[in-house]
Amino acid sequence: MLIRSVDVWHHKRLEKNVDIWIDEHNIIHNGSNAPNAAQELKHDGLVLMPAGVDPQVHLRVPGQPEKEHPGKALQAAREGGIHALLTMPNTKPVIDSTETLDQAARELEPFSQQTGVEVFLSAAITRGQRGKEAVDFKLLAKHPRIKAFTDDGLGVQSDEIMHLAFAASADTGLPILQHAECSPHPGVIASGPIQQKLNTPAYPEEAEWQMVERDLKILKDYPEATYHVLHVSARKTVELVCEAKSQGLKASCEVSPHHLYFGSEDIDESNTAFKMNPPLRDQAQRRFLREALADGRIDFVATDHAPHEISAKSQGLLQSAYGTTGLETSLYVLLKLYAEGLISPERLVNVFSHRPSHFLQLDEAYGHIRYGLPCHWILLNPKTDRTIDNSRLLSLNHNNCFLGQVLKGEIIKSSALDSAKIRS
């Protein structure tokens, strides 16, 4: 298939008006050597870019079929231009042993093959995520699908465990992902009109950055360790990570699409998808997160796709479970920021694909458009309006805070379904 005048977005440069063709193996070629018989696709304003990599997803495998169906989640990922992801270990049972890693890998593999979305695993930092006893990092690091350690859903409160985790990271080369939340703290939503209306204590930003501050102090003892802060919500957190980077420490952070798009002023009280952890903070914080993503102080975007069954989300903002889904909306939020002039195309590729793929130590088929070589790509129209409609969402549960929003973008075609073929 020959496609004329495509703009190709890479993480460091742009190519304008390139003719490309796609062969039967779904490999992209520069158009000059297209076979004469190629079928031509006529479409104005198309963009070719590397497919997305999402380093923070709750596939809820094993043991939580009421929250998500892995086949549906991976279809949702493809719909959102995401072709590789890292799933979180706060499951039933918690992924904290070789057996549970094997179980998750075994249950996910058929859906990964069906959809062509590669799934990597993370394991807990503490046994059962109880925060008391560290896992056997060395043993678990040998598993072929593991890419990180995290107690996501809970912050690691113990200094001693963080010492062990960083020592293990230095040893194994795997990153430690922190869900930064000092507990207990009083609130479930951040200060703002809805928090005041509900007359409930605010979820303080200190709960986040004080844990990061503690972690970075410990990290100084482990210059070879890799530390990453999941889903930042507060300016101070990002500033602490930047300071650590400037001291040569291997620290990084990510932001989730909902924190880029909404502030606490935007919370719709009737939609419990607006309850997430960390919470949406005020517009000044949201503006800061957007700027920090655009200028590189925040390293990349991760969805924190967190589906829940209806009963867990139908108890009002204060009592319902935390989380919004995000796999099939993340790209379209970023394309909206691009349309508004808030991020450059190169930066969009960087935060959605290139940087997370490096962070997870994936091969070069991710994060790059490589002419004549296997790679994971999406071909899209970045300017199409996209209304997020309940009936179009593919994920099992639809607790998505973007319902009704008009975002941007439409995928026209994407690379082959069979990721194993792409690897070989």
**Known active-site residue 23:** no
Task: Classify residue 265 as left (phi > 0), alpha (psi -120 to 50) or beta.
Answer: alpha
Residue 152 or 254: the one with the smaller Cβ distance to Zn ion is: 152
What does the block give as tokens for 211?
A: 């844990």
E strand map for 183-308: 226-229, 250-255, 300-301
DSSP 278: S
Q: Which of 10, 145, 147, 179 is close enough to bind Zn ion by CB under 5 A?
A: 179
Residue 3 or 180: the one with the smaller Cβ distance to Zn ion is: 180
Please state, in angstroms and rounded to a whole number, the distance separating the CA atoms of residues 117 and 49.
16
What's the min distance (Å) between Cβ of 355 and Zn ion? 19
E strand map for 353-394: 377-387
Residue 68 or 152: the one with the smaller Cβ distance to Zn ion is: 152
Stretch that binds Zn ion, among 17-25, 113-121, 176-184, 252-260 (CB under 5 A): 176-184
What does the block give as tokens for 267?
A: 């919370």
From the candidates 19, 96, 304, 363, which is the catalytic residue? 304
Please state, in angstroms and rounded to a whole number, the distance separating the CA atoms of residues 216 and 232.
15
Residue 154 or 343: the one with the smaller Cβ distance to Zn ion is: 154
Cβ atoms 260, 242 nearer than 8 A: no
What's the min distance (Å) between Cβ of 315 and Zn ion? 20
Q: Is the dihedral of CA 247, 178, 235, 351 positive or negative?
A: positive
Number of residues that bind Zn ion (CB under 5 A): 2
Residue 48 or 161: the one with the smaller Cβ distance to Zn ion is: 161
What's the min distance (Å) between Cβ of 183 and Zn ion? 12
Burial zone of 22 (CB within 10 Å; 0-12 exposed, 13-18 middle, 19+ buried): buried
Q: Does position 205 bind Zn ion by CB under 5 A?
A: no
Stretch that binds Zn ion, among 16-24, 157-165, 179-187, 213-221 (CB under 5 A): 179-187
Stretch that binds Zn ion, among 70-78, 96-104, 118-126, 173-181 (CB under 5 A): 173-181
Please state, in angstroms and rounded to a whole number, the distance separating the CA atoms of residues 39 and 257.
37
Q: Is the dihedral of CA 73, 338, 359, 283 positive or negative?
A: negative
Chain residue whose CB lies nearest Zn ion: 179
What's the min distance (Å) between Cβ of 125 and Zn ion? 13
Q: Mark 129-158 with x for binding to Zn ion (rule: CB under 5 A) and - for no binding.
A: -----------------------x------
Catalytic positions: 304
Q: Would you tell me which residues interact with Zn ion (CB under 5 A)?
A: 152, 179
